[in-house]
């Protein structure tokens, strides 16, 4: 969480930093700030509570500055306020810093070194910059050594960019656990939490690793470890089309990304097809899955919900048992593992700290791991043994939509390739079925007005709502409820319909919205029965069923797709319902309150 940028070079830095922060706003939007150094080496600090747009209004347009750092915040320590907004400065004003992450021992550090220092904020970050200043002033270290010494003293996660106003032609950067990239160009260099934020300036990036410190001038980047050993590392090209970063004619990214799902399904088939038109995945991965006696899927949030569908696909297509785990639980409450586990990490961003924490343990134990991610070069991608990409294009709305369907599609492709590798007949032709699904998603999206109407009739004023389903539909209602909660703020439960009468049905009263998903032939009639039970108790029922299982009473009938892949289609109405409910309630659809897209703190 939090996004940081830095630029030193030959262009005016204000707009570069602000538009970089606009792109990074998905990482947090509690406050924002920039520190820029002008032609006369004069520093200027601008901070504002809330969005980048508010900061933009505050920045003095008349300043010409060629170097600077910026930050967009998701508050961890200290309320969202101007005082707690980054950048933070040392008391003398000499050092200025931006930080993404959490310093776990900031109170101990404060007591040990900074008891006499007056703090201006209640953040953990201010401790870092005051500590650097303390090492320079009290121990007479030069800036780079003070920076390194501060890093050794601090415990926790951080991506940092630092300015010393006595040496304004240089920016300093370091990281531990939190992501940070250095970008290179002719006559300039940049620092950024991700490549997207700086892709308008450059496509050439160098990864900074944990325990390294970088010194950037406009013409050079020097990376060294904490012992001072210089590290040579080649840059890589980030293949991001800057045009993909805009909303185009859409009012919100969320609806744009919902609309992109048919194209993502088709792209995935192309990306994973070989010249003969067969789906293909690196045989080393297939051999490792074949060797394993159980697949462990680890993820958070929407990716976790996709994991449940993945479990079903892996078990039904390959015959290998699979389990799904919340990363935040697995890390501290590790289940008993089988002898030959194979780990799959699902992560749109590839940066989620909880998932990474598990991956570190998995790597330590020497188990094979695969990350499915939308972001090449992301931490989870780099640190897992293997990566499969989601090819969904940048997902910018905080609420994940196209990454969910892409994760399920890639898991289906993986499962089919494993089955073939094992000499087992796959029960479905995934490439063919994904083509059918792409068309079916288009049909559902074309009916978006139906879902806008249903959102108004069922969810415009209610405080709570239920999604119910069984089997594969249960997995989808978990995701449906999460989506509704996060963008519309309606308190929603995704419940196994058979479990209702074991307690939860006590919450049903007149007009409580209950949305049933019915795509499974065997369990569908039972869910329909449960829908009638809640209707008898006054619920405002909405049934979304699949062709062949539909009845007159149903609010919407989904086009028929393969039994194993119904989540790819049944989730679409639920995404649209979440979107329209949020829209009609006047919420900021793309940036729901309290959230951030990339959750880089545990
Ligand atoms: C919900 C959402 C989150 C993420 C979760 C994991 O719409 O986006 O629940 O799914 O924070 O993020 P990734 O997939 O980046 O690891």
* Ligand 1 touching residue 254 (CB < 6 A): no
331-376 pLDDT tens trace: 889 999 999 999 999 999 999 999 999 999 999 999 999 999 999 8
CA 300, chain centre distance (Å): 10
Q: Ligand 1 centroid to 33 CA: how many Å?
A: 26
pLDDT of 251 reads: 95
pLDDT of residue 143: 97
CA dist 399 → 206, 480, 588 (Å): 29, 11, 11
Q: For ligand 1, atom 5, which residue shows the shortest CA distance?
A: 301
Rounded CA separation 197/433 (Å): 36
pLDDT tens for residues 192-238? 998 989 999 999 999 999 999 999 999 999 999 999 999 999 999 98
Q: Given the residues 2, 49, 148, 402, select the one marked as catalytic.
A: 2
Specify which residues 225 forms β-bridges with: 212
pLDDT in tens, 513-565: 999 999 999 999 999 999 999 999 999 999 999 999 999 999 999 999 999 99
- Does the beta carbon of 347 lie inside 6 Å of ligand 1? yes
Ligand 1 within 6 A of 306 CB? no
More confident residue, 600 or 144: 144
Residue 96 CB–ligand 1 contact under 6 Å: no
Burial string for 143-152 (b: 16+ CB within 10 Å, else e) reads bbbbbbbbbe
- Express each pLDDT in 7-43 by its tens digit: 999 999 999 999 999 999 888 889 999 999 999 999 9
Side by side, which strands form the sheet with 65-73?
43-49, 31-38, 65-73, 3-8, 188-192, 181-185, 204-207, 236-237
14 is catalytic: no
Atom of ligand 1 nearest to the CA of 304: 10
Best substitution site from 178, 179, 298, 301 to test ligand 1's pocket, by max atoms within 8 Å of Cβ? 301
260 alpha carbon – ligand 1 mean position (Å): 18
Is the Cβ atom of 307 under 6 angstroms away from ligand 1?
Answer: no
The verdict on the CB of residue 302 being under 6 Å from ligand 1 is yes
According to the model, what pLDDT value does residue 262 have? Answer: 96
204: Cβ–Cβ under 8 A, 6 or more apart, which residues? Answer: 183, 184, 185, 235, 236, 237, 238
Determine if ligand 1 sits within 6 Å of the CB of residue 371: no
Q: Give the Cα separation of 450 and 75 in Å (integer).
A: 38
Hey, which of 178, 297, 300 would you mutate to test ligand 1's pocket, going by the most ligand atoms within 8 Å of its Cβ?
300
Domains for the chain: give ranges and CATH numbers. 3-249 (3.60.20.10), 265-441 (3.40.50.10490), 447-597 (3.40.50.10490)
Q: Indicate the burial class of 246 (C-beta count within 10 angstroms; 0-12, 13-18, 19 or more).
A: exposed
- Average pLDDT over the chain, rounded to an integer: 95
Best of 346, 352, 395 for a ligand 1 pocket test (most atoms within 8 Å of beta carbon):
352
pLDDT in tens, 263-298: 999 999 999 999 988 999 999 999 999 999 999 999
Catalytic residue at 597?
yes
Give the burial string for 430-444 (b: 16+ CB within 10 Å, else e).
bbebbebbbebbbeb
**What's the angle, vertex CA 492, arms to CA 489 and CA 494, rounded to 5?**
145
> Ligand 1: which atom is nearest the Cα of residue 599?
11
Peptide bond into 87 cis (omega under 30): yes
**Is pLDDT at 243 greater than 80 in this prediction?**
no
Centroid of ligand 1 to alpha carbon of 400 (angstroms): 6
Asked whether 399 lines ligand 1 (CB < 6 A), one says yes
Report H helices in 489-523.
none
Mean pLDDT score, 167-182? 94
Ligand 1 atom at shortest distance from the alpha carbon of 401: 7
């Amino acid at each position: 969480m939090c996004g940081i940028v830095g630029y030193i070079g030959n262009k005016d830095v204000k707009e570069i930093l602000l538009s970089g922060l606009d792109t990074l706003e998905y990482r947090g939007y509690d406050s924002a700030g920039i520190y820029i150094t002008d032609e006369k080496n004069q520093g200027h600090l601008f901070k504002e509570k809330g969005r980048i747009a508010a900061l933009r209004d505050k920045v003095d347009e008349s300043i010409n500055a060629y170097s600077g750092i910026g930050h967009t915040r998701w508050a961890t320590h200290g309320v969202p306020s101007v005082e707690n907004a980054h950048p933070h400065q040392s008391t003398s004003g000499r050092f200025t810093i931006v930080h993404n992450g959490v310093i776990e021992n900031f109170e101990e550090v404060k007591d040990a070194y900074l008891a006499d220092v007056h703090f201006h904020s209640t953040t953990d970050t201010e401790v870092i910059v005051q500590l650097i200043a303390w090492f320079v002033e009290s121990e007479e270290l030069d800036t780079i050594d003070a920076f390194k010494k501060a890093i050794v003293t601090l415990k926790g996660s951080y991506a940092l960019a630092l300015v010393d106003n006595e040496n304004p032609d240089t920016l300093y950067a370091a990281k531990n656990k939190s992501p940070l990239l250095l970008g290179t160009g002719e006559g300039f260099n940049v620092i950024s939490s991700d490549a997207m934020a700086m892709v308008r300036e450059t496509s050439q990036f160098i990864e900074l690793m944990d325990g390294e410190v970088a010194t950037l001038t406009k013409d050079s980047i020097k990376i060294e470890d904490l012992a001072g050993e210089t590290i040579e590392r080649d840059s890589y090209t980030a293949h991001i089309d800057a045009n993909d970063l805009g909303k185009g004619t859409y009012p919100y990214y969320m609806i744009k990304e919902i609309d992109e799902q048919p194209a993502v399904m088709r792209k995935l088939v192309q990306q994973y097809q070989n010249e003969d038109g067969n789906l293909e995945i690196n045989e080393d991965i297939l051999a490792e899955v074949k060797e394993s006696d159980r697949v462990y899927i680890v993820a958070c949030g929407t990716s976790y919900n996709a994991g449940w569908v993945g479990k079903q696909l892996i078990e039904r297509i390959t015959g290998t048992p699979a389990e799904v785990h919340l990363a935040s639980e697995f890390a501290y409450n590790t289940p008993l593992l089988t002898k030959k586990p194979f780990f799959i990490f699902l992560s749109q961003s590839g940066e989620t700290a909880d998932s990474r924490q598990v991956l570190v343990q998995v790597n330590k134990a020497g188990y094979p791991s695969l990350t499915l991610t939308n972001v090449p070069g992301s931490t989870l991608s780099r640190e897992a043994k293997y990566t499969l990409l989601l090819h969904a294009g940048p997902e910018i709305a905080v609420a994940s939509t196209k990454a969910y369907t892409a994760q399920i599609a890639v898991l289906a492709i993986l499962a089919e390739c494993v089955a073939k590798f094992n000499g087992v007949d796959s029960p479905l032709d995934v490439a063919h079925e994904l083509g059918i699904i792409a068309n079916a998603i288009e049909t559902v999206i074309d009916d978006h007005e139906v879902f806008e109407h249903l959102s108004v009739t069922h969810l415009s004023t209610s405080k709570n709502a239920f999604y119910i389903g069984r089997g594969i539909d249960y997995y989808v209602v978990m995701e449906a409820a999460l989506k509704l909660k996060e963008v519309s703020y309606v308190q929603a439960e995704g419940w196994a319909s058979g479990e209702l009468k074991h307690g939860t049905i006590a919450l049903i009263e007149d007009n409580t919205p209950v949305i049933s998903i019915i795509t499974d032939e065997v369990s569908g009639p039972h869910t329909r029965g449960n829908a009638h039970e809640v209707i008898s108790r006054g619920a405002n029922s909405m049934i979304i069923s699949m062709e062949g299982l539909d009845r007159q009473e149903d609010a919407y009938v989904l086009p028929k797709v393969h039994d194993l892949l119904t989540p790819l289609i049944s989730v679409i109405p639920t995404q649209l319902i979440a979107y329209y409910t949020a829209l009609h309630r006047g919420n900021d659809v793309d940036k729901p309150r309290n959230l951030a897209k990339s959750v880089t703190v545990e």
